[in-house]
Structure 1
Amino acid sequence: MIRNSWRWRDEPLDRAELARLLPPPGDPELSSDRLSGLEEHLMTEIRNLTPDAAPDAAPDVPPSGVYGKAHAPRPARGSARRPVLVGVGAALVLAAVAGIAGLNGGAGGPAAAGGAVAPPVPAAPPSGAVPAPVVQVARGSVEGLTGAVDDIAGAAARAELPEPLPGQFLYVRSQVSWMVSWEGVDGKNKSYVDKIHPREVWMSPDGAEGWLMEPYKKGIGRDGVTLDDPGSVEPSLNAPSYHYLRTLPTDPDVLLKKIYDETNGQGNGPDQQAFSTIGDLLREQVLPPELAAGLYRAAARIPGVVLVDDSADAAGRHGVAIARTDEADGARTEWIFDRETYTYLGERTVQTRDVEGVKAGTVRGHTAVTDRAVVDAIKQRPAAPAPVPAPGAGGESAPAAAPSAGT
């Protein structure tokens, strides 16, 4: 997992000078109550689970399961090829825990132990983070879902996707923003998100070679990082390659059963995990057209899936959405599609009820896919990508490549 480095100060401390000026600190150990609280918060961030809470609005998810048996929520297991996105929140929480322990210097802090008062815990959010946007949560409905999915699946099946050849790479460019949890000096969690920024991924069809460019993220760097497969991970639904995706069934019922079977015991219940697994495939893959159509039709068969009349991606583009609310934490994930072409635009996750300091209507994260294509080399971009009004969009054009195709 790639973790972002974090510094509490911009200027280096002269530790030798401080050691001469300050008395010895107390035993650097948090109180058991404080440590337990931080550990519980950390595990909550990692598992993305929360305690039961009364919903503020009527849920749009029936508590039933057709393909899998309902069971207690379990920790989610994400794709082995997506460590950067899913690890950001946990890495920042770990940094916060380490910083609090180091700065407070133990139970009651250094002052309680007779030492000097340590600097306070920073109340500011991580660099580059902004307050999370809040939107009106629209109620979803099954009315019109079947017709909308038919239109979306039909458009996906007709997509003109060039077959990648040996030595070529599948390219996806997105605008992304995800939630960052931050505990202020008052001990309360505050909701921030990354500024919307570009993310580019190149993957070989066999999944053996890949590259990620997301220069906004610390630890990645301006030139990006490798996504090369060390050979220890077999292709699967949680770590797919294009060649693997071509082997999947396209019949919606057969496909959905395979998803339930292979993700059994993962996530916050079988229905939510099936929906999340399909969403992971849509977010940052170039899918064979018939498989994309099958995935949309399969998703419509998952209990709790609804149609939302209006949603907006990270680029501000509005469309209709296929959505489902996670019963465990009240977060509703919305896949957004253009109203005219039914092309996949992006994804948005909205909190539907107050939980763990996150208010209802808070946008926990959103993406906007701005280009999908087949190119001839890593770091090569398609020629003349269509302009998208997304904050932070940019990048130079590379030599001409195969035309892009939507999912």
Structure 2
Amino acid sequence: MKIGPHRTEDPETADLAGLLPPPAVPDLTPERAQHLKAALLSRASTVDDRTAAAVRRPVSRPRLIRFLAPAVACALAVGGVVTFGTAETRPTGNVPAAASPEAARLLDRIALAAREGTRPPLRGDQFVYVESKVAYGAQSAGGGPVTLAPVHMRQVWLSADGTRPGLLREEGGPDSPLGADATARTTPQKLAQLPTDPDALLARIRAETGGSGTQAPGADPDQRAFAAIGDLLMETWAPAQVSAALYRAAGKIPGVVVVPAATDAVGRPGVAVARTSEGRQTQWVFDPATHAFLGERTVLTESGEAGPKGTVVGTSAILTRAAVDRAGETPRR
């Protein structure tokens, strides 16, 4: 079974529970699973401030292992998941009350770099093209150690306004069409509607992921918020001010730390911002000089059935992010 980043839940019946851990299910078709990706953003872009602050009770369900988010925006839309380990989340012990000062400072510098970055205008009839290298962890149905598959190419084309069919292409597999549905995806227009104040943005994300108010026993709302922010930073085309706000919001989450040395899926060295939960550490890897996002990886922090401490169980590297005119087209080099 593949251990990937994908959450498979029907947003029409789960009220944003796609960002919470669902039970194990078979891989979904891209068209159905595509509806999951926009759960957070479609709700976040339409609810008012009072609704965002309202208490929501998340659905209680078995724990989903989120080993890898290879540029997550589309990863959420097109894959499958398996359960692994305990049946319910347990909070990470001794989590500090805030992100470490080093992490907050680094994320502030990353936010400044993101805000100053420039991207060409994206027309509604274009596609966001993201090319990456990824490797997924896999585990047999009977359990045992996780095996990391070889790194392979991943390409995705996402309609800018959500009205045109997209495309997912992974090395070694057939092309997977992505259905057109502007209401079921995180389009640039929806990203642009998010708050640019970090506190307001984090409050919105916490509300939409069940991180404020009553929670399922043992749930880790901070990890859900951290994962949701990572999902909104990967295979997306976020406005510069929104990207900056997302990074600063992450700097306000308890338990976020700096990992001084980390590498992405193609071996590029960097510095990582990370958070540990359930014996796994999710790392966002950045170029130490330019603060550009390089990729993400997940590492075991506890020895167990999945493998020894320090085992990398998922990794990704973003190579290209560009605007193109049609699905299947690649930008000029």
Please give the TM-score of this superposition, normalised by the length of structure 1: 0.58
Could you say if the C-alpha distance between residues 202 and 260 of structure 1 is closer, same or farther in structure 2, counting changes exceeding 3 Å?
Answer: same
Aligned counterpart for 1:352 among listed residues 288, 291, 301: 301
- Partner of residue 126, structure 1: none
- Following the alignment from structure 1 to structure 2, what is the Cα–Cα distance between the partners of residues 68 and 178? 35
Q: Distance in 1 between matches of 2:263 and 2:57?
A: 32
Q: How far apart are residue 269 of structure 1 and its match? A: 2.0
Structure number with greater CO (CA < 8 Å, separation at least 6) is: 2
Any idea what SS the aligned residue of 2:313 has?
Answer: strand
Query: Are positions 1:177 and 2:135 aligned together?
Result: yes
User: Unpaired segments of 5 or more residues in structure 1?
Assistant: 3-41, 47-66, 94-140, 385-407
In the comparison of the two structures, how many residue pairs are matched?
261
Match of 1:195 in 2: 150
Aligned match of 1:216: 172
TM-score (norm 2): 0.70
Q: In structure 2, which of residues 189, 206, 209 is the aligned counterpart of residue 243 of structure 1?
A: 189
Residues in 2 aligned to 1:151 and 1:70: alpha-carbon distance in whole angstroms:
35
Contact conserved, 2:287 with 2:293, CA < 8 A, in 1? Answer: yes
Structure 1 residue 383, shift from structure 2 partner: 1.0
Distance of 2:282 and 2:78 partners within structure 1? 16
1:323 paired residue number? 274
- Cα 1:316–1:296 shift into 2, 3 Å: same
* 1:151 corresponds to: 109
Alpha-carbon offset, residue 359 of structure 1: 2.0
Amino acid across the alignment from 2:240: P
Task: Report the CA distance shift for 1:158/1:69 in structure 2 as closer, same or farther (over 3 A).
Answer: same
The residue number in structure 2 matching 1:333 is: 282
Q: 2:123 aligns with which of 165, 182, 202?
A: 165
Alpha-carbon shift at residue 83 of structure 1 (Å): 5.2
Shift of 1:372: 0.5
- Measure, in 1, the Cα distance between the counterparts of 2:80 and 2:163: 22
Cα distance, 1:68 vs. partner?
9.2
Residue of structure 2 equivalent to 1:274: 225
CA contact (8 A) 1:158 1:289 kept: yes
Q: Which has the higher strand share?
A: 2
| Structure 2 residues without counterparts, runs of 5 or longer | 3-21, 27-53, 67-71, 85-98
Aligned partner letter, 1:214: E
How far residue 206 of structure 1 moved from its aligned partner, in angstroms, is 1.6
Counterparts in 2 of 1:356 and 1:268: CA distance versus 1, 3 Å: farther
- What CA distance in whole angstroms lies between the structure 1 residues aligned with 2:110 and 2:154? 25
Partner of 1:308: 259
Distance 1:72 1:246 in 2: 28
Paired residues of 1:75 and 1:268 also in contact (CA < 8 A): no
- Pair 1:82 & 2:75 matched: yes
Shift, 1:226, TM fit: 1.1
Judge which range, 264-273 or 246-255, deviates more.
Answer: 264-273
Higher gyration radius (CA): 1
1:87 aligns to what SS in structure 2?
coil
Other structure's SS at 1:325 match: strand
Partner SS, residue 118 of structure 2: coil
| Percent sequence identity over aligned pairs | 38
Equivalent residue runs for 1:124-135 within 5 Å: none
CA positional deviation for 1:188: 5.7
Q: Determine the C-alpha separation between the residues in 2 that align with 1:332 and 1:308.
A: 10
Superposed CA offset, 1:324-375 (max 9, x none): 011xx21100001001100000001000002333321111100000001111
Do 1:88 and 1:180's aligned partners in 2 also have CA atoms closer than 8 Å? Answer: no
- Are 2:254 and 1:254 equivalent residues in the alignment? no
Contact 1:76–1:268 (8 Å) recurs in 2: no
Q: Cα deviation per residue 1:128-167 (whole Å; 9 max; x = unaligned)?
A: xxxxxxxxxxxxx824223211210011011111121132
Report if aligned partners of 1:157, 1:289 keep a CA contact under 8 Å in 2. Answer: yes
* AA partner of residue 153 (structure 1): A
Q: Does the 8 Å CA contact 1:174/1:371 hold for their aligned counterparts?
A: yes
CA distance in 2, matches of 1:73, 1:214: 33
1:87-166 equivalences under 5 Å are 87=80, 89=82, 142-166=100-124
CA distance in 1 between counterparts of 2:60 and 2:220 reads 5
Match of 2:327 among 349, 374, 378: 378
The structure-2 alpha-carbon separation of the partners of 1:68 and 1:353, relative to structure 1 and needing over 3 Å to count, comes to: farther
Contact between 2:73 and 2:233, CA under 8 Å: does it hold in 1? no
- Partners of 1:68 and 1:330 in 2: CA distance: 28
